[in-house]
Structure formats: structure tokens, C-alpha cells
Structure 1
Amino acid sequence: MGHPYLSPMEKRHPNHPGEMGTDATLAERERAPDEINARARAVGLLHEAGVPFVVGGAYAYATYTGIYRDTKDLDLFPRKQDAIRALEVLEKDGWRTERPDEVWLYKAYKGDYFVDFIFSSGNGVATVDDEWFTNARKATIFGYECLIAPAEEMIWSKAFVTERERYDGADINHLILKAGREMDWDRILRRFDRYWEVLLSHLMMFRFAYPSERDVVPNYVMTELMSRTLQTVRDGSWDEKLCRGNLVSKVNYHVDIHHWGFGDGRAWDEQDRPEGGTRGARSELEDSAGSGR
């Protein structure tokens, strides 16, 4: 049976989420038993070795939203030092491991099947820290009681995924819709910090998608973000010609930085970002044109 949202002539992009629905079997229907067994073995080995992680990706998404989808891999979110330990554990079991990006991603392969160990967002902002664990939910995954990534941190991480071929905005909308009334919105504001405009952009899309559910997001959150926006309007443009677009898309702002004379926003951000955390949103406002930046 073809995908319900693709014409017979269209090929599914590797990042297309595949068939989705409320039937739990969708998560594994297209997967071979060996692939599911490989995922289960990885979880079991890490449990036995005492390597801490929270489960993210499609399994966590389904826990909060009740939406299931075919997923090509298992996403586990450890702290970076524990991701190194996880690779060592799986290597002893014969897995092939890779470290494709020291900023955010390691991988482990059992034949053709793989597990992703994600310890930050691709731009290095949404780093896995203790709060991912202290605020996690519990669920049974492959027969093991696992910690599930908090919805707040899932939104924080997904908000920066806005590539042409991969955009996690619908995931964010569904997480807010189904879990928003129980979320810690103060923590979300603190997490986004100097990147509050990214949060606001997603909240505006949520309001567009669900006009009857706008009260899911507390009024004080929208009031605070709109107040910050008005302040930036009063302050005007920054003096520095900078493109921060490459914090949300690795490739789509290449021309701006390499041909149009904009400064590299990600490089600026990494240099300006305090070690161990992000800078407050108020500081970002103070760095607008009104203060000479």
C-alpha cells in the first residue's frame, strides 16, 4: 500500500516521517524483526551497564501525543560523557560505532540497523544536561522501564530543526496541543533564553494551526514574548551585519554568509555563548542597535 499523502509518482524522501496515525503498530510495522531486536538489545545492554539516557525521537513523541509513525532508528539522549560510555558498551557487543559530529551526534550500528546517541541539538544549543533526567517521564520501551525526554526539552531541541527537507514544526505543535497544559512554561522560556524569537515563531504557528486552542499556551508567555518583540522594534536593527539563520538551518543561509557579506551568526553565537549555558534574553535585547551593537 502506498503512502496516503504521496502520489504514485512521488518518492518518499529519507526524512519524510512515513505513515502516521494513532495505531501503535505503525511504529514498527515496516521494520524487520531483527531491527526491532537490535533496538531492544541496545536498550538492554545500556540498562545493564548503568549508562543513563532518556529516550527521544518517535518513541517519546508517541508517549506524549499518541501519534505513532514508522521510524528508521532509535534516538537515545545521553549526556555527552555517557554517549562515549554507550559506544564502548555496544562495541564490546560487536556493534560498529561512529562519531560523525562531536557537537551533537554519535552512532552505533548492528549490521544495517542503528541507534543515534544525541547529546545536543545540531547547533550546540540544546545540550543534554541533568534537567533532561530530573524532568523525564517513565515509560516501558522494549520491555524496559525507560526515562522519556521531557516535552519541554523536546520542543527546545526540535525548534532549531528548520531545514528545507526537515522541519519539526508539526511535532512541536502536536506536543504543545497534547502536553502544553502540563508543561513548565517558565522552564521553556529559560531554555530558549537568547533564542526566544525562535520560540515565538513556533508559538505563532501553533496559534495559526489551532485557533480554538490558543489558551493552551499561557497568556503571560505570549505577553512576555510580544513585549520583547516590541522592544526590539523600538531599538531598531543591529549595527552589526549578521545572519543567525545558520543556527536553524545548516545549509540554507550559506549564500548569505559566503556571498552577501553577512557575518556568520553561528560562529558569533558560539563565541559569545557563555561556557556551560546560554545568555539571558534580556542581554540579547541590550545588544540591539540601541546599545551600539
Structure 2
Amino acid sequence: MTTEPTRHRPPPVEYFPPRNTVSMDELLQTLTRVVNSLTHAEIPFAVAGGCAVYARGGPPSGHDVDIFLRRTDVAPALAVLQQNGMRRVDPPEDWLVKAYDGDILVDLIFSASGREITDELLARAPRMRIGSAHAPVVTATDLMIDKLNVLDAHRCDFVPMLQIARDLREQVGWSEVADKTESSPYARAFLGLLDDLSIASPKSS
């Protein structure tokens, strides 16, 4: 008697929550509202994530707005955004808080990949034009450190990272990136790939 081999069925579609994708114009409108709200309230911050990549000449983002700020400024920042019509959400994570501007997510991040957001990190973020907003934007080096430090066994897609690295390579201090990500085998593998592809060489920067 033969038995049919066990087949591994893929999880149902509903197992994978739909990812909210919006246009860059919609993201920039939300970003402008966030920037204006925090600026008028005199809360120090810096634009991070995909919007920062876009501001620095990288590919457009289609997901959410990321803002770096100090832990002590989280409560007043949330209050200001709520006063301007945004909806607060309390996530399970202990390194950020969230708000929604309509359907667009705004992440207020006070600890990025285990690095506390400090006055020094915010102070080195230059002011740049992003759409109609003029705001501090994290340096390309800090941006790359953050993106590499989030890589793990469940988030190890090098494809979008390669495009970002190509577009921003002349703005990045690669030796500092290597120093700040040396504990991650995924980051080391990615930096080795950049070296092999002659995109960037941490050893010579």
C-alpha cells in the first residue's frame, strides 16, 4: 500500500495582511502636514525612511511616513498631530508610536534598530526640500545604518536595498556604516555584495 506524500499547503491569502500602498503625492501631502505641525510646535525631528531616501535622490516610497524624534518628545508630538486631525494608534512595539492621516500611516520612531534617537543624530540632519516641505532629513549614512540593522532572517530582501545603495552611494560614509552594523551578519553580507559589485567599498571610504 502506498501513501501519498505529504504536501505542504501555502497559508491562506488572509494570513498575509494587505500592505497599504499609496502614491508618492499622497505621502508628500501627509509629510507636509506632519512637518508643519511639528515645526510650529518647535519639536525637534528628522524625516527618515522612504521619504528620506526620496529626498536624497533615491526611489519613491509607497508605504508610510517615518519621523525620527526623541523619546521625550513622543507625547507632545502625538498631541500636536491629533490636534491637526490625525488618529493615534498604540502599537505593540516599544520603539515607536503610530498615527494615521486618513489612510496614510505616520511612524514616530524614537529608537531605530536599537539606537536611541539623540540630539546629536537630529542635529546632523540637514534641511532639505521634500515636495512642498522644507525639513531636516537624516543623513544618508544614518539612513543606511538604520536600513541595514533591521535586516534579519525574516527581512532579508536585498533588491530594494541595492537600488537605494546605488542612488545614495556618494552621500554615504561606508566605513562608518560598516562599523555601526558589524554585529549583523546580514549587513556584512550586503556590504560585501556592494564591494563585489563595485557599488561601494567600506574598506576604502
Q: What is the TM-score with the length of structure 1 in the denominator?
A: 0.54
State the 1:16 CA deviation.
Answer: 8.7
The answer to which of 85-94 and 95-104 deviates more is 95-104
State the SS of the aligned residue for 1:100. Answer: coil
How far apart, in 1, do the equivalents of 2:174 and 2:139 lie? Answer: 12
**Cα displacement string for residues 265-290 of structure 1 (whole angstroms, at most 9, x for unaligned residues):** xxxxxxxxxxxxxxxxxxxxxxxxxx
Distance verdict in 2 for CA 1:116–1:161, change over 3 Å? same
Q: Select which of 48, 52, 55 maps to 1:56.
A: 48
Distance verdict in 2 for CA 1:187–1:206, change over 3 Å? closer
2:142 equivalent to 1:161: no
Kept in 2, the 8 Å contact 1:105–1:120? The answer is yes
Structure 1 unmatched runs, 5+: 1-9, 19-25, 222-293
2:166 equivalent to 1:177: yes
State the SS of the aligned residue for 1:68. Answer: coil
How far apart, in 1, do the equivalents of 2:153 and 2:42 lie? Answer: 35
Q: Select which of 203, 215, 219 maps to 2:191.
A: 203
2:98 equivalent to 1:110: no
Q: What is the TM-score with the length of structure 2 in the denominator?
A: 0.74
State the SS of the aligned residue for 1:109. Answer: strand
Q: Select which of 24, 44, 61 maps to 1:27.
A: 24
What's the Cα RMSD here? 3.2
Task: State the match for 2:32 in structure 1.
Answer: 40
More helix by share: 1
State the 1:111 CA deviation.
Answer: 3.6
Kept in 1, the 8 Å contact 2:175–2:202? The answer is no
**Cα displacement string for residues 119-147 of structure 1 (whole angstroms, at most 9, x for unaligned residues):** 223xx523322343233232223533211
Kept in 2, the 8 Å contact 1:151–1:175? The answer is no
How far apart, in 1, do the equivalents of 2:152 and 2:41 lie? Answer: 36
How far apart, in 2, do the equivalents of 1:190 and 1:219 lie? Answer: 10
Task: State the match for 1:72 in structure 2.
Answer: 63
**Cα displacement string for residues 29-72 of structure 1 (whole angstroms, at most 9, x for unaligned residues):** xx4xxx75444222211110011111122221122343224x23
What letter matches 1:52 in structure 2? P
Structure 2 unmatched runs, 5+: 1-12
Whose radius of gyration is greater, 1 or 2? Answer: 1
